[in-house]
Chain A
Amino acid sequence: MSDPTVDKHIESARRELRRHAWTPQRVEAAWRELEERRRTDAPLRRAAAFAGTALAVAAMCALTIAGWRWLRSESTARTVGGDASGLQRLALGDETEVRFDQQARIEVREQSESRVVVVLKSGTGHFRVRHDPRRVFRVQAGEVAVEDLGTAFDVAHEPGSVRVSVEEGSVSVSYPEVGGLKKATLRAGDSGVYPSVSPRPSAGPSQPTELPPTPPSSSDRSSDGPGDWRALARAGKHGRAYELLAAGNMQDVRDEPGDLLLASDAARRSNHPAEAAKLLRKLLTGYEKDPRAPAAAFTLGWLLMSDLGRPRDAAAAFARAEALAPRGNLAEDAIARSVEAWHRAGERSRAAAGVERYRKAYPRGRHLGMLERLVGNP
């Protein structure tokens, strides 16, 4: 029997799966990777086919060696200690090490003589790598891959973005873009922020564009507790989170993007759109360069249009979302929503101009039909 609560969860999970669906570029990249793996895989298998009984012995040896390596990698990966600055340290042998704070989540996915893969799930890691041309050292953060070219570098994985800063040497970064994976080389002193997942359209024209998450800030988790608004907000208990915030006259919200976004989520989800808009404006005023700013502007636009009945201001907010990241994954939706906002404001010529701009930028855009209908039938 159908249960609305379960149905709602299933629909959200399906939506997320659709959002992660592979693009043709992703299929192409994966095919190339498979070919490469097959090339290295095939000779081994041919040799195995001719080896007969001797192979069984060799396989046992290989298994033993593999087991030993696995054990070694497991134990190496757990060689963790602290340093004077309070950072955790993970030694990967041969003078290669990772230092990270308590909030970082790191996993050594692979460690062999030819390849080391470290997955940075979240937080910041500082990598000091002894360069070895026979070995690939890769840090994977979402869909961003950083390969060392002999160096020391930081990788910060936040929801939606990955920041790479090079201290010494250089790194090669591959990151997802609309046209497929792109590569960049960063040298000492360089830094860059990359999307951690492929830029992708949102679910449909009747929905607000999906937004980047509210990332936890480094000091958030230390204060998580039953009376802590942040813990409540992250657990989805927005009403109670907002009550705590409001009781303290919002003084408990730190002036930094993560906290402002989390608090605005709590306010928005607990039906306090005006307060949420205020928090988003504060973020946009103080942190316009933050990678989360475009999403904040978009959310603000949505609040102004849908909840606060201020379509003109909404159009301005959507325009700002687009201006902050004209090639970001919200840009297309921002133009479309600004058309909708102008239409609601009764500004037909502006709405029509917006549709024209949308058509030029996205001739096969998924909102085009809806926008044309909107302007054609005001």
Chain B
Amino acid sequence: MSAVPHPQPVEGAERVVEARAAERPLGIEELFRRHAPAVATLGLAMLQNVEEADDLVQDVFLKAWRAFDRLENPEGARPWVMTIAIRLARTRLRRRKLTRLLFRAEEPDFEQIAASAALPEHRDLVRHLYAILDKMPVELRLAWVLRYLEAETVESVAALCGWSLSTAKRRIHSAHTRVTAKLNAITGDQESPA
């Protein structure tokens, strides 16, 4: 792999800094190519909007680029990149809720990601799930998406979101209880006779 190597301070600090600066574009490009698809998927799972997920990728890697100097180990940068993504996604979700509250904006359109090439069966399932997540408090939504859509471990959810392990467990459990209850309510309603 051609990611930025750890410089060895044998030729003086200035030369090391120059060497890192010269190699930096290669490093960030490698970082982007390796992790951008995962950030895009995470963004879509969190935001449920293709354009916003694309914007999120750009914002995440702009931030990563600016802070790339401070990254000690680009080879193990995934948690770092994902943490930035989660932080920015959280901000976007909160802003979205606020905007909706202040301007009475319309409900989001989940057709966009549920639609274009999905079987109607899948479309309905995805739409129901996203509608439930959309109504959920942001922290619970993050917890559930990371645990159940991104299949992260509880420990990983805690680390990525900056929570204690018990907080992560509590939020995942609370979110999953809500999702289960609401999905079962919807399914029951659909299966009941007219």
Contacts and interface: CB of A to CB of B under 8 A. Distances in A.
Interface residues of A, number: 58
Nearest to A157: B112
Contact of A27 (B36, B115, B121, B148): B36
A97 B15 CA distance: 56
Nearest to B37: A22
Contact of A236 (B117, B128, B179): B128
B65 A38 contact: yes
A354 interface: no
Contacts of A33: 58
A250 interface: no
Interface string A114-126: 0000010110000
Interface in B25-45: 29, 32-33, 36-37, 40-41, 44-45
Contacts of A3: 180, 183-184
A58 interface: no
A243 B51 contact: no
A237 interface: yes
Given A12-B126, A31-B29, A121-B109, A19 B190 contact: no
Given A34-B61, A38-B65, A269 B37 contact: no
B51 to A, nearest CB: 6
Contact of B62 (A34, A211, A236): A34
Contacts of B149: 10, 13-14, 17
A309 B190 CA distance: 29
A347 interface: no
A16 B120 contact: no
Interface residues of B, number: 50
B57 A30 contact: yes
Interface stretch (A81-89, A163-171, A178-186, A194-202): A194-202
Contacts of A10: 129, 148-149
B58 to A, nearest CB: 6
B118 interface: yes
B101 interface: no
B21 to A, nearest CB: 13
Nearest to A195: B116
A150 interface: no
Nearest to A232: B194
A98 to B, nearest CB: 16
A38 B66 CA distance: 9
Contacts of B179: 6
Interface string B52-88: 0010011001100110000000000000000000000
B33 A31 contact: yes
Contact of B117 (A19, A45, A74): A19
B112 A17 contact: no
A45 B148 CA distance: 39
Contacts of A255: none
Contacts of A212: 115-117
B123 A13 contact: no
A111 interface: no
A12 B129 contact: yes
A6 B54 contact: no
B50 A22 contact: no
Contacts of A195: 116
Contacts of A346: none
Interface of A: 3, 5-6, 8-10, 12-17, 19-22, 26-27, 30-31, 33-34, 37-38, 41, 45, 74, 105, 109, 119, 121-122, 140, 142-143, 159-160, 195-197, 200, 202, 208, 210-214, 235-237, 239-240, 243, 265, 268-269, 329
11 contacts: A3-B183, A9-B126, A22-B37, A30-B40, A45-B66, A140-B51, A197-B50, A210-B122, A213-B118, A239-B194, A269-B121
Interface of B: 29, 32-33, 36-37, 40-41, 44-45, 50-51, 54, 57-58, 61-62, 65-66, 103, 106, 109, 111-126, 128-130, 148-149, 176, 179-180, 183-184, 187, 190, 194
Q: Which 5 A-B pairs have the closest CB atoms?
A: A12-B125, A236-B124, A213-B115, A22-B37, A159-B115
